[in-house]
Structure 1
Amino acid sequence: MRIGLELGAFAWPGGPAAIGETVARFARVADEAGYVSLSTGDHVWQGFNAGGEHQPYLECFTTLAVLAANSRRCRISPVVAGVHFRHPAVLAKTITTLDLLSGGRAGVGLGVGWNADEATGSGIPFPSVATRFEMLDETLRILLAYWTGAEGTDKAFHGKHYQLDRVLGVPQSLTRPHPPILLGGGGEKTLRLVAKYADACNLYPTPEMPAQLARLREICAETGRDYDRIEKTCCLPFDVADGSGTGELLDTLHQLGEQGIQTVIGIVATADPVRQIELIGEKVLPSLSDDQ
């Protein structure tokens, strides 16, 4: 099993002035410890699960750029970007730039989003979930068109929600044929998009997860997609306190592995995120390596 990390909160000692150095240290420690990926979510307000909108939250891709600049091996990706926040052409350029500047380590995680309050409160349109799924499908098609050939297709794309006269992307990403695509969510529509377009799926470790993986396998069989070529990932909070919870975390990771999960993305939302990943790196990662 592989372990990635997601920065989920930014309320740290030292306040805003200390955030930059903490993010940089987080990336350096994670890279040296053997974690496989670094990510953050994509919001303009902090979510209710981490203290709500008056708690600090950083813009996703700026944060990913700092994580990339302070690491050398970890893959860098949003988990996951909301499809309603950016036009696909801007998203394609952003991910391509991140891939180039990181030496070919960028990925893209996408989803339909969930926080209507942050969007509408910030003046950002938040269409119905059905519309956002249509937008997601078109966005995936546009991204793949941008990452085709030497400069993209350089052709027009005329969809229901997006109109592009030229799908032109110069330079292209270093990662070929394209930065890996991860889709977040376990519903029927998302799983069908995973089978059609994605390199990875991201689920939550709920009682429904085994059934969601079974359904993805069925969809792959129906559509001719190789289920085994899709990376199965899931997110869960990482909080081992002073290290006393590492045994329980290791048990959870083994259980997830038995259910078919290949990569766990640990959401770190504690007051001392660097110490958290140091403890897990010391006490959990070596045991996982021994199992392989």
Structure 2
Amino acid sequence: MRLSLNITNYSWPDGSKGLAPRLARIVRAADEGGLDTVWVADHLIQADPTSTPGAEMLEAYTTLGFLAALTERVRIGTMVTGVTYRPPSMLIKAVTTLDVLSGGRAWLGIGAGYHEMEARSMDLPLPPVAERFERLEETLRLAIQMWSGDDAPFEGRHYRLAYPVNNPPAVRLPHPPILLGGMGETKTLRFVARYADACNLFDIPDGGQTVRRKLDVLAGHCEEVGRPYGEIEKTLSTRLEPGETSEAFVERCAALAALGIEHVVVITAGPWTEDAVATLAAAIPALDRM
């Protein structure tokens, strides 16, 4: 089982001047501790439910460039980018650039988007849900086209590109992995089956019923499009509880593995600490055996 951390909260007690060194220590600890990926939330205002909208929030792709320069092996990506917040070509180019400069460690984490208050507050586009999913599918199609080296004109309902060139190409082959966030059975999981390399589900305390159902739906979509279900990495987001030991965390992960989860993405209440990262790193030897 793979293990990652997701940075959603930047409110360390020493404020803006201490933010860069604090963040550097966290990501270096993750890199050295054997974690698979460091994810960052992609928002312009703080969306962590344990925080407040006006609290500290960093722009995601600038932050990922900073993290790439500080690390050697850990992968990096957003959990996840709302598809309408950036033009698709700009987003694909940003992920490609990150992949090239990090030596092939970038993810494209993407979803339909949801944050209405953020969109109103920051004048960001957030069209109706149906249109967001249309734009999501076109962006996924465009990403795969550009990463394949095909610079032929792209004609979609919402996006039309005359010359979608992508040079330098991504280092990761066949392309940076695509993770789709969300659990919608009709659209999101169908798009996972058709276009993505990983899904991301939520840890709902119902004894695994929801996760089982969502994975069954995903398997059905895979069968419909003729894709092996095993090609898709099943990830799940959960919270490291205050004071939780690595042994207790491993027990929780074992239960998730029994449901079919292969990669656990961890958040915390409040900003990450080096001690919390150490707790995750201590769990990795046991998780490697799952």
TM norm. shorter chain > 0.5: yes
Question: Equivalent residue of 2:54, what SS?
Answer: coil
Deviations 1:88-135 (A, max 9, x none): 100111001000110111111100111111012111121011110000
**Residue number among 202, 210, 226 corresponding to 1:204 in the alignment:** 202
- Greater shift, 27-36 or 261-270, is seen at 261-270
Q: CA deviation at 1:280?
A: 2.6
Q: Figure out how many residues of one structure are paired with residues of the other and give that number.
A: 285
1:185 aligns with 2:187: no
Q: Which whole-Å deviations, capped at 9, do the CAs of 1:65-107 have from their partners, x for residues lacking one?
A: 1221111111111111110111110011100100011011111
The 5-angstrom pairing of residues 65-80 of structure 1 reads 65-80=65-80
Partner of 2:40: 40
Which residue in the other structure is 1:121 paired with? Answer: 121
| Contact 1:22-1:274 at 8 Å conserved across structures | no
Structure 1 counterpart of 2:218: 216
8 Å Cα contact 2:146/2:165 also seen in 1? yes
**Distance in 2, Cα, partners of 1:52 & 1:187:** 27
The answer to whether the 8 Å contact 1:240/1:249 transfers is no
5+ unaligned residues in a row in structure 2: which ranges? none
Distance in 2 (CA, whole Å) between partners of 1:75 and 1:158 is 32
Is contact 1:99-1:173 (8 Å) kept? yes
Q: Which residue of 2 aligns with 1:63?
A: 63
1:280 paired with 2:280, answer yes
* Aligned residue number for residue 147 of structure 1: 147
Q: How far, CA to CA, are the matches of 1:22 and 1:36 in structure 2?
A: 20
Whether the 8 Å contact between 1:79 and 1:109 is mirrored in structure 2 is yes
Q: TM-score, normalised by structure 2?
A: 0.94
Partners in 2 of 1:32 and 1:53 — Cα distance? 32
TM-score (normalised: structure 1): 0.94
Please list, as runs of the form range in 1=range in 2, the aligned pairs for 1:1-292 lying within 5 A after superposition.
Answer: 1-47=1-47, 49-148=49-148, 152-188=149-185, 189-206=187-204, 207=206, 208-241=210-243, 244-282=244-282, 284-289=283-288, 291-292=289-290
CA-CA distance at 1:25 after TM superposition: 1.1
Change in 2 beyond 3 A, CA 1:174/1:270: same
Contact kept, 8 Å, 2:8 with 2:271, in 1: the verdict is no
Separation in 1, partners of 2:179, 2:234: 9
Contact 1:239 1:270 in 2 (8 A): no
**What letter corresponds to residue 19 of structure 1 in structure 2?**
L
CA distance in 1, matches of 2:132, 2:56: 27
The RMSD of aligned alpha carbons is 1.4
* Counterpart residue type for residue 287 of structure 1: A
Q: For the Cα contact (< 8 Å) 2:9–2:272, is it kept in 1?
A: no
